[in-house]
């Protein structure tokens, strides 16, 4: 059974900052946000975690393998290099959705996202080294079948984007509502989901649902491991198997 450790990363009081003393250049905000995300990708990723950009001012990470001191270091490093600070709230649960709900609750209890006195909160508990197992994290890597031939090389770039986006909007909602999973668009035609332990049937249902509602055909590779990186790398290899075999769902080994 999975035991996902999820960290909510929230930029402190960011909305007001973006318009103080007057609205800041959008390209600078975009640069700031995407670089902060890139930095967190490296800081978290190089310890085996995954972080997703989500809304950029609120990012969600799967952090199995990172302890409190790792979190503290990441928070300090951001504070040392950016004009904004971040709060981090971590929680664990048998499903990623539950873990994130707890992490969010906990942070909300410390004050509003736009409370100017709430800065650099670091709260929650990580999983002790002794309680970690090889099945703590399940990652599903979804991919659109032949996106290049079906969309990119045929439609206008925005029409392609609409298709991918509607497929993602449908998938993320379904996977959350039905399976307590957290699904994130990661660029191109790819969606990575942090899932609880799910059956092949569950993945098939989700894929069928997206085909029906949004008309987009997906395949998925699934992996599990001690960290997001291990599970995710297995999922990528499983996806290659699915690509080769033509199956819609493939579980690593």
Ligand X SMILES: Nc1nc2c(ncn2[C@@H]2O[C@H](COP(=O)(O)OP(=O)(O)OP(=O)(O)O)[C@@H](O)[C@H]2O)c(=O)[nH]1
From the centroid of its chain, how far is CA 15? 22
Which of ligand X, Ca ion, a copy of itself, none does residue 176 bind to, with CB < 5 to 8 Å depending on kind?
Answer: a copy of itself
Q: Give the H/E segment covering residue 97.
A: helix 96-109
185-204 residues near ligand X, rule: CB under 6 A: 186-190
CA dihedral 194, 196, 200, 204 (to 10 degrees): -60
Nearer to a copy of itself, 152 or 211 (CB): 152
Max alpha carbon distance in the chain (Å)? 57
Nearer to a copy of itself, 112 or 201 (CB): 112
Please tell me whether residue 163 binds ligand X under the rule CB under 6 A.
no
Q: Which of 38, 37, 43 has its CA nearest to residue 69?
A: 43
Neighbours of 216 (CB within 10 A): 22
Angle at 175 between CA 148 and CA 46, to 5 degrees: 75
25-84 residues near Ca ion, rule: CB under 5 A: none
Helix ranges restricted to H, 8-95: 14-18, 26-45, 68-81
CA distances from 133 to 4, 62, 198, 253 (A): 11, 15, 17, 17
- The contact mask relative to ligand X for 108-147 (x = CB under 6 A, - = no) is -----------------------------------xxxxx
82-101 residues near ligand X, rule: CB under 6 A: none
Which of Ca ion, ligand X, a copy of itself, none does residue 133 bind to, with CB < 5 to 8 Å depending on kind?
Answer: none
Please tell me whether residue 244 binds a copy of itself under the rule CB under 8 A.
no
Please tell me whether residue 106 binds a copy of itself under the rule CB under 8 A.
no
What sign does the CA torsion over 115, 116, 120, 121 have?
Answer: negative
CB of 147 to Ca ion, least distance (A): 4
4-63 residues near a copy of itself, rule: CB under 8 A: 8, 10, 14-15, 18-19, 22-35, 37-39, 41-46, 50-51, 53-58, 60
CB of 149 to ligand X, least distance (A): 6
Please tell me whether residue 29 binds ligand X under the rule CB under 6 A.
yes
Q: Which residues bind ligand X (CB under 6 A)?
A: 14-15, 18-19, 23, 26, 29, 57, 143-149, 186-190, 236, 243
């Amino acid at each position: 059974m999975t035991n996902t450790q999820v960290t909510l990363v929230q930029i402190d009081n960011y909305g007001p900052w973006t318009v103080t003393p007057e609205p800041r250049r959008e390209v600078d905000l975009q640069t700031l946000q995407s670089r902060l995300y890139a930095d967190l990708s490296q800081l978290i990723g190089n310890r085996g975690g995954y972080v997703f950009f989500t809304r950029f001012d609120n990012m969600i990470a799967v952090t199995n393998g990172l302890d409190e001191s790792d979190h503290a270091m990441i928070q300090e490093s951001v504070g040392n290099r950016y004009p904004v600070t971040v709060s981090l709230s971590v929680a664990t649960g048998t499903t990623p959705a539950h873990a994130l709900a707890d992490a969010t609750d906990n942070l909300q209890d410390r004050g509003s996202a736009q409370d100017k006195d709430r800065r650099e909160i670091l709260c929650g508990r990580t999983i002790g080294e002794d309680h970690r197992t090889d099945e703590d994290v399940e990652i599903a890597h979804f991919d659109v079948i032949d996106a290049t031939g079906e969309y990119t090389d045929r439609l206008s770039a925005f029409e392609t984007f609409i298709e991918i986006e509607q497929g993602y909007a449908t998938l993320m909602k379904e996977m959350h509502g039905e399976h307590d999973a957290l699904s994130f668009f990661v660029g191109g035609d790819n969606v990575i989901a942090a899932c609880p332990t799910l059956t092949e049937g569950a993945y098939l249902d989700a894929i069928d649902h997206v085909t029906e509602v949004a008309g987009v055909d997906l395949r998925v590779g699934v992996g599990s491991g001690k960290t997001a990186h291990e599970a995710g790398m297995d999922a990528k290899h499983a996806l290659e198997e699915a690509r080769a075999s033509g199956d819609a769902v493939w579980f690593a080994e």
